[in-house]
């Protein structure tokens, strides 16, 4: 099955407004003929302007890095899904390891976010992955299985065509360490099997699985060559247009 290939860039808390606008313009121009979907997940301050930069591109799409788990209300400093929808966001990242760690986002909260994003008609990039201690205990597959079961597998199968799963080994995020292509494939294959066991083989085969964790131009091609790796969720390397394009062109 020809699954949708995606390379998404997570800018995290980087780039001033003008810097972000310049980066987005460079990527949008360079990615016109990309062979995969290109997603930019920028800070909130950029989103509206980036929507104008991207326009009606067939290859470049816009993502928010987070949303709140309630629809509206007295939540100072937070952003709702409807706000994101109103400015033309296509995707929302849910469950990134940094938000799990620094903002104490638990399975129940993430499930609520997933529901709100899908109810609004947007798409979810759901992040999952294990810390080093879990990997060392050889419990990484069970760890990820629980993350998916508690926050994602309550959905109907019909909703899964708007869900992308991004596996990010926490021990490889921003550390320079990278899961080997074999380690990435092992987990991606296991995740696909989890989706199949919870839904169907057709659903599993149609679900896009991304690898995130120190993916860069030098290792992207080998990672993307694995049969169950359908692209990447890129951190630091997405902040330079040439590096990001080198990764996009590796798929």
Q: Which domains, and CATH codes, for the chain? A: 6-248 (3.20.20.70)
172, 206, 166: which is closest to 188 by C-alpha?
166
Partners of 25 in the β-ladder: none
Three-state DSSP class for residue 61: strand
Question: How far is residue 44 CA from its own chain's centroid?
Answer: 16
Of the listed 96, 130, 140, 188, which one is catalytic? 96
HSE-CB for 62 with a 13 A CA cutoff: 26
Structure tokens at 226: 């694995």
Three-state DSSP class for residue 211: strand
User: Which long-range contacts link 21-25 to residues 24+ away (Cβ below 8 Å)?
Assistant: 21/46, 21/49, 21/50, 21/53, 23/239, 23/241, 24/49, 24/50, 24/53, 24/54, 25/53
Is there a catalytic annotation at residue 168? Answer: yes
User: How far is 95 from 93, CA to CA, in rounded Å?
Assistant: 7
Is there a catalytic annotation at residue 96? Answer: yes
Of the listed 105, 130, 168, 188, which one is catalytic? 168
Q: Residue 3 gets which letter from DSSP?
A: P
Digit-by-digit pLDDT tens for the chain (251 residues) are 689 999 999 999 999 999 999 999 999 999 999 999 999 999 999 999 999 999 999 999 999 999 999 999 999 999 999 999 999 999 999 999 999 999 999 999 999 999 999 999 999 999 999 998 999 899 999 999 999 999 999 999 999 999 999 999 998 877 777 789 999 999 999 999 999 999 999 999 999 999 998 899 999 999 999 999 999 999 999 999 999 999 999 99
Q: What pLDDT does 1 receive?
A: 60
Three-state DSSP class for residue 70: coil
User: How far is 139 from 215, CA to CA, in rounded Å?
Assistant: 23
Three-state DSSP class for residue 94: strand
């Amino acid at each position: 099955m020809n699954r949708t290939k995606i390379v998404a860039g997570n800018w995290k808390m980087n780039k001033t407004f003008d810097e972000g606008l310049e980066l987005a313009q460079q990527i949008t121009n360079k990615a016109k003929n990309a062979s995969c979907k290109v997603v930019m997940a920028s800070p909130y301050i950029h989103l509206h302007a980036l929507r104008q930069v991207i326009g009606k591109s067939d290859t470049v799409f816009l993502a928010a890095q987070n949303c709140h788990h309630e629809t509206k209300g007295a939540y100072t400093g937070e952003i709702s899904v409807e706000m994101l929808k109103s400015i033309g966001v296509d995707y929302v990242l849910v469950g990134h390891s940094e938000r799990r760690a620094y903002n104490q986002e638990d399975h129940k909260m993430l499930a609520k976010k997933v529901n709100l994003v899908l109810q609004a008609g947007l798409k979810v990039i759901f992040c999952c992955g294990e810390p080093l201690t879990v990997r060392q205990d050889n419990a990484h597959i069970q760890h990820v299985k629980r993350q998916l079961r508690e926050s994602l597998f309550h959905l109907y199968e019909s909703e899964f065509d708007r869900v992308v799963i991004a596996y990010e080994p926490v021990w490889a995020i921003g550390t320079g360490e990278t899961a080997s292509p074999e380690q990435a494939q092992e987990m991606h294959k296991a995740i696909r099997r989890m989706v199949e066991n919870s839904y169907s083989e057709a659903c599993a085969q149609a679900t896009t699985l991304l690898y995130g964790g120190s993916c860069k131009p030098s290792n992207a091609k080998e990672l993307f060559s694995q049969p169950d790796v359908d692209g990447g969720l890129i951190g630091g390397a997405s902040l330079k247009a040439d590096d990001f394009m080198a990764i996009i062109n590796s798929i």
